[in-house]
Amino acid sequence: MSLALPLEGQPTDPALEGILKIAILAVGGQGGGVLTNWIEGLARAEGYHCQATSVAGVAQRTGATIYYIEMAPGDVVSPVFSLAPSAGDVDITIAAEMMETGRAIMRGFVTPDRTTLIASTHRMLAVSEKTVPGDGMASSEEVKAAAELAAQKLVMADMDAAALKVGSVISASLFGALAGSEALPFRREAFEEAIRAGGKGVEASLRAFAAGYELARKGEPEQPEEKTAPEPQILEPTGPEKSRAAYASLQARIVALPEPAQEMARAGLQKVVDFQDVAYGSEYLDRLEALVRQDDAEHGFELSREAAKYIANAMAYDDVIRVADLKTRPQRFERINQEMRIDDGKLLRLTDYLHPRAEEIVGLLPVKLGSRLERDPAWMARIDRWFNRGRRMRADGLRGFAMLYILGGMRGWRLKTLRHKMEQDHLEDWLKMVSGYLPDRYAMAVEILKCRRLIKGYSDTHARGLSKFDKVLAGARMVESREDGPVWVARLREAALKDEKGTDLDGALKTVASFAEVE
């Protein structure tokens, strides 16, 4: 137990002596309030004075909150408690997520002279991480390294997984880790009595408490290193015998491809056939084989491997039909039930939010009609006014599910739509550009293939990605004659992936334009 230190030259205030200070940083839904109540109840049951407060944060990751607890032994006369933690003045910090650990360290709630840090190593991505078009995930390893330096005592493990394994939530496993850390002067039995006093989910919470306690005492067991990579999951085809035979013939064509490209080609074929049909899968292999014929072993068949991946992604684009199809698949409902931990006898209300733009509606129309409407601003404005507003549809109800199911079953219509023609034209232009750099500019061709990762998603997300893709290809044409052209294309692509608005990409394009003009 630590004592509050007076300023130099000032006498000690007896009302500040013996106060133990605990900060809990948790995200909405992690039970930070429950954990706080358990600690507060524990302290009072052990004869301590105790005060608990909370400071709500901004609405990210469903709300990040700092809970703060101060306690003092019952023999301390009239202790003076603070309402919020101060930097350098926290004895125990509990972080319910890895980036909350980093936030606690940055705010000074973890110091090497006094703080016991209890942290869960799992991740709940922040909004800023999710909105980055590329990999925006912050480094957990950097936070872990900082925690090892910042804390006097460190208890760090995946408390969320430990709780889920026994059918409970992370607040209980963190409470167990607090008991196991021995940072509080209370017996384990007193902690368990605090859980029982809550009266809800007692048995599950006690199981998670025990798991957290053991992690704090013994640490996480070392995981054996995997000597071989796991086998890719290839689904067995189902359907009529004729279709399965046709699919088998396509798989036989993959065997003739270069070995480095075969695994990705199998996954790509599966994705494309799942998106449309076997005939569409044959088109995928036709396009892939055309590039394979221009590849060679000298380059390790890198072109073939990248083509197998990105041609499949380009052909299996996200349109209205695809989105509706995915929303009605059994796997989706199974995943939601698992994530929400829906037990037998409980019901889940599932509401999908739809916000179609005029472009999505017109894209579903036949090519001639859709093209005519797309060129008419008045009609586009009218369609946008009719459809471009938020709609909530109960996917767990018969009417909502039936509408999505019917729309998702319109695969046969997809190939006649304006959207499909636009995607096919864009795909052919892209592949023609790739082939134009072969065989002399092999590296440039590979980088142009990789640029396809910029296009993903649906509606506005797809439109932004497509705009960035076109900008990067325009930049590629400015450096195509340079020796370091492939390097600059890679830099442009990475710049495009850094932020949603494309500010970094615009800056990189200005740099390319500046030396391109000089040349």
Q: Which positions ≥6 away from 331 have C-beta within 8 Å?
A: none
Cα-based distances in Å from 110 to 23, 58, 91, 183, 486: 10, 21, 8, 14, 45
Q: Which positions ≥6 away from 11 have C-beta within 8 Å?
A: none
The three-state secondary structure class of 393 is strand
Token duo for residue 392: 């909530």
* The one-letter amino acid at 243: S
The three-state secondary structure class of 4 is coil
Domain boundaries, the chain: 17-218
- pLDDT confidence of residue 76: 85
* Beta carbons of 49 and 79 less than 8 angstroms apart: yes
CATH superfamily of 17-218: Pyruvate-ferredoxin oxidoreductase, PFOR, domain III (3.40.920.10)
d(CA 454, CA 495): 11
Phi-psi region of 31 (alpha: psi -120 to 50; beta: other; left: phi over 0): left
Phi-psi region of 518 (alpha: psi -120 to 50; beta: other; left: phi over 0): alpha
116-120 and 153-157 beta bridge pairing: parallel
Q: How many CB atoms lie within 10 A of CB 440?
A: 8
Q: In what order do the strands lie in the sheet with 153-157?
A: 49-56, 64-72, 20-27, 92-95, 116-120, 153-157
Closest CA to 493 of 516, 509, 477, 478: 509
Helices in 256-277 by DSSP H: which ranges?
A: 259-275
- pLDDT confidence of residue 235: 60
Task: Mark the ranges of the chain whose per-residue pLDDT is less than 70.
Answer: 1-17, 29, 57-63, 126-136, 138, 222-237, 344, 517-519
d(CA 37, CA 200): 13
pLDDT tens digit sequence for 428-474: 999 999 999 999 999 999 999 999 999 988 888 889 999 999 999 99
d(CA 386, CA 391): 12
